[in-house]
A and B are shown apart, each in its own frame.
Chain A
Amino acid sequence: MLILFLPLFLILLLIGLPVFFATLLAPGAMLVWEGMDRDLPLLFRNIYNGIDSFPLMAIPFFMLAGELMNQGGITLRLVHFSQSFIGHVRGGLAHVNIMSSMLFAGLSGSAVADTSAIGSMLIPAMEKNGYKRKFAAAITAASSVIGPIIPPSGIMIIYAYTMEISVAALFAAGLVPGVLMGGALMAVTAIMAKKYDFPVASEKHTWRQRAGSTRKAILPLLTPVIILGGILGGIFTPTEASAVAVGYALVLSVWVMRTVKVSELPAIFTRSAKASAVVLLLVGSAITFKTVVSLSHAAESLAFWVLSISEVPYILLFMINIMLFIIGMFLDAGPAIIILGPILAPIFIELGVDPVHFAMIMSVNLTVGLATPPMGLVLFVASSVSGERVESIAKAILPFLAVEIAVIFLITFVPEVSLTVPKWLGLVK
């Protein structure tokens, strides 16, 4: 029974084998067990083939752009910009944290980058301002999942790559859900701020001061305009846009703002190469895993099983959301998308769900999974940035997670949330 590679995979994962090795060992072992040795080379081939991709190249580029921006003290300018507008309200720094995350999301495609950039700056500041450290870490983690929802987004590049749909359409679709997620987090923060009497951060800034902070932040804030405008305006493909973003970030940080020295570039490039290498290998191994899913006909069995429960899209979507949320607790968004996307998406597309809409449901759900225990990457990073234990952040994040789940269901049951912008741009019919 080749299909036993699925439980074997889960066991290996749960006893602590890194995802990369588990996605290769479980199918490999079952193929040998079944005497299907001739299929082993397919596993290896597909790691290489999975990685050798032009669309995927946007991931290292967006990572590098984010890294350059963060190094360039640009995060600081975004935080000051946010603070000059909302720092004076009750819970000011909490709001600033969320708003900065949303702005940073336009520069970076990664939740982890968001957490470490905003967290290392705002968690100490929030603590000094009188917040509990675990609360500061929790709100950083919760809001950083907006990073891959507002474009650019590594997760959506991976989704578009595995499901062969347009990156541009997904980027456009992520705008409203991302802003919605930020708005919802701010709303719950406002309620908490009143209840627990959160501190304000600063005096109300004058419009003159605001103009000053805007002037300082305007160049980095133009990045998303260049990326999205370039892609949606037909100047370049998403991968080219990501390279342009790197070029812009380089010019900005090295020559215009002079926040990065040329001599620092090799180290920055190497760091982003490392982070990309891990993601690329994960993508490669997940593509391999997907191959064995095909060989074992697991997709068909699962589709049959799912459709035997119900054929009403909304009931199924509700269930799938719960399933994805649980999976997101254990698996990173990227591998989860590559493994599950090709199984789940066709079922729902067949039932009449728009492919871009389903992409958003899946991506947003699994992105939120990055901030859930026990396997929440973002939680780990928030913990290492703040020095607070993962467990206590995990507890403090619960109210925010509840809001994010509500937004997931909103995205699920109101397709217009995702589809209005891409429809308006003509990217979705």
Chain B
Amino acid sequence: MNAYLFILTGLRKLNTGLIRIGHSIAWICVALMVASILLQVVFRYVFNNALPWPEEAARALMIWMMALVAAGAYRQGSFVAIEMLHDFIPRAAARLLRLFLHVCALVVLYYLFTLGLEYFQRGFRTRAASFDLPRAWIYLAMPVCFGTMLLVNIEMLMKDVGLLLFKGFASRLPEGEDSHPTPVVSE
């Protein structure tokens, strides 16, 4: 159990670090997004001259913004689910169900991650329409997004497995940042 806990703790720290880095870049993406669209409006009215690049640049920034915070949102439990069933079934069954659901997510994320890498590599053949950049650098956001989510998923999965395998695992688990799920989905 000690070795297992060691790996899990390491993974936790890694994820926390990655999420922190992601957050500290994401807000800059947001700021640049706002700035470029405002610039577009200003140029059209003040200089009567539409810039060709702000729209596409803002789209690329939006995708990177999303990619950089997705893992954090996932860890917080912001991806909403119907959790009624968990309250109706025995605790052991609920644990198994949780494990199964995390495996489902793992399959999806793994697939999205590998395909994302492939598209990144192929992206060097296409260029952005309004500025000189291979689209690969925009596509890279997707494997980053799903890769970091995958790491968070493995962390949660390991926690589930640990709870099933080891007695007293819960008490030895270090306080995580995922302990208070908060829905932040806004519509």
Complex Cα–Cα for A24 and B72 (A): 20
Within 8 A of B (CB), among A330-386: 330, 332-334, 367, 370, 374-375, 377, 380-381, 384
Q: Given A60-B30, A243-B37, is A28 in contact with B111 using a C-beta cutoff of 8 Å?
A: yes
| Interface residue A414 (Cβ < 8 Å from any Cβ of B) | no
Q: Judging by beta carbons under 8 Å apart, are B97 and A16 in contact?
A: yes
| Interface residue A275 (Cβ < 8 Å from any Cβ of B) | yes
Complex Cα–Cα for A272 and B29 (A): 12
Q: Judging by beta carbons under 8 Å apart, are A16 and B85 in contact?
A: yes
Q: Given A28-B111, A274-B78, A277-B66, is A111 in contact with B187 using a C-beta cutoff of 8 Å?
A: yes
Question: Which A residues lie within 8 Å of B59 (CB)?
Answer: 52-54, 57
Contact with A along B30-54 (1 / 0, CB 8 A): 1101100110110001000000000
B180 to chain A, nearest CB (A): 10
A153 to chain B, nearest CB (A): 9
Complex Cα–Cα for A243 and B39 (A): 10
Chain B interface: which of A7-15, A175-183, A304-312? A7-15
Q: Which residue from A17, A53, A334 sits with its C-beta under 8 Å from B101?
A: A17
Contact with B along A48-71 (1 / 0, CB 8 A): 100111101100110110000000
Q: Which residue from B27, B115, B138, B187 sits with its C-beta under 8 Å from A273?
A: B27
Chain A interface: which of B1-9, B102-110, B162-170? B102-110
B127 to chain A, nearest CB (A): 15
Q: Judging by beta carbons under 8 Å apart, are B82 and A374 in contact?
A: yes
Q: Which residue from A15, A21, A51, A113 sits with its C-beta under 8 Å from B63?
A: A51
Closest to B184 in A: A275
Q: Given A281-B66, A334-B187, is A25 in contact with B107 using a C-beta cutoff of 8 Å?
A: yes
Q: Judging by beta carbons under 8 Å apart, are A57 and B73 in contact?
A: no
| Interface residue A278 (Cβ < 8 Å from any Cβ of B) | yes
Closest to A148 in B: B187
Question: Which B residues lie within 8 Å of A107 (CB)?
Answer: none
| Interface residue A140 (Cβ < 8 Å from any Cβ of B) | no
Within 8 A of B (CB), among A260-277: 265-267, 269-277
Q: Which residue from A48, A60, A113 sits with its C-beta under 8 Å from B65?
A: A60
| Interface residue B144 (Cβ < 8 Å from any Cβ of A) | no
Closest to B26 in A: A273
Question: Which A residues lie within 8 Å of B142 (CB)?
Answer: 44, 47-48
B41 to chain A, nearest CB (A): 5
Question: Which B residues lie within 8 Å of A18 (CB)?
Answer: 79-81, 105
- A residues sitting closer than 8 Å to B (CB atoms) are 12-21, 24-25, 28, 40-41, 44-45, 47-48, 51-54, 56-57, 60-61, 63-64, 110-113, 148, 154-155, 235-236, 239-240, 243-244, 246-247, 265-267, 269-282, 330, 332-334, 367, 370, 374-375, 377, 380-381, 384
Give me 4 other A-B pairs in contact (C-beta within 8 A), A240-B37, A243-B41, A279-B185 excluded.
A15-B85, A56-B62, A110-B186, A273-B65
Write 7 A-B pairs (CB below 8 A) sorted by A numbering.
Answer: A17-B81, A45-B119, A63-B186, A240-B37, A240-B41, A265-B31, A374-B84
Q: Which 3 A-B pairs have the closest CB atoms?
A: A269-B27, A243-B37, A110-B186
